[in-house]
């Protein structure tokens, strides 16, 4: 599995999501920003993204580290890390 496949698989199942994926072919890091995460605790957000992969998770996709945010949470994080 490659970076583009991971990204497109998440986007196919979560079309409103902004997705950025990095990785080396076995281990991946994904940043997923979606309004679908509104009101969900982080654990459920991560489960939602993992569900995009079904049985591939652990087989073809060995490790997926996630950072998930609602659009508002992501904007607040960006602003906090880039003060004017």
**Burial of residue 37 (number of CB atoms within 10 Å: 0-12, 13-18, 19+):** buried
Q: Is the separation of the CB atoms in 37 and 69 below 8 Å?
A: yes
- pTM of the model as a whole: 0.89
**What's the mean per-residue pLDDT of the chain?**
91
How does pLDDT run across 29-44, given as a tens digit for each residue? 999 999 999 999 999 9
Domains of the chain: 3-81 (3.30.300.90)
Instruction: Decide if pLDDT at 11 tops 90.
Output: yes
| HEC secondary structure over the chain | CCHHHHHHHHHHHCCCCEEEEEECCCEEEEEEECHHHCCCCHHHHHHHHHCCCHHHECCCECEEEEEEECHHHHHHHHHHHCCC
> Region 5-32: what's the mean pLDDT?
94
- Tell me what percent of the residues of the chain surpass a pLDDT of 90: 69
């Amino acid at each position: 599995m490659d970076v583009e496949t991971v990204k497109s698989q998440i986007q196919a199942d979560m079309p409103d999501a902004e997705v950025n994926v990095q990785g080396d072919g076995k281990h991946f890091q994904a940043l997923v920003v979606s309004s679908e995460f509104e009101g969900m605790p982080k654990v459920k957000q991560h489960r939602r993204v993992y569900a995009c992969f079904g049985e591939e998770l652990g087989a073809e996709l060995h490790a997926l580290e996630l950072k998930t945010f609602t659009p508002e949470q992501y904007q607040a994080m960006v602003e906090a890390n880039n003060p004017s």
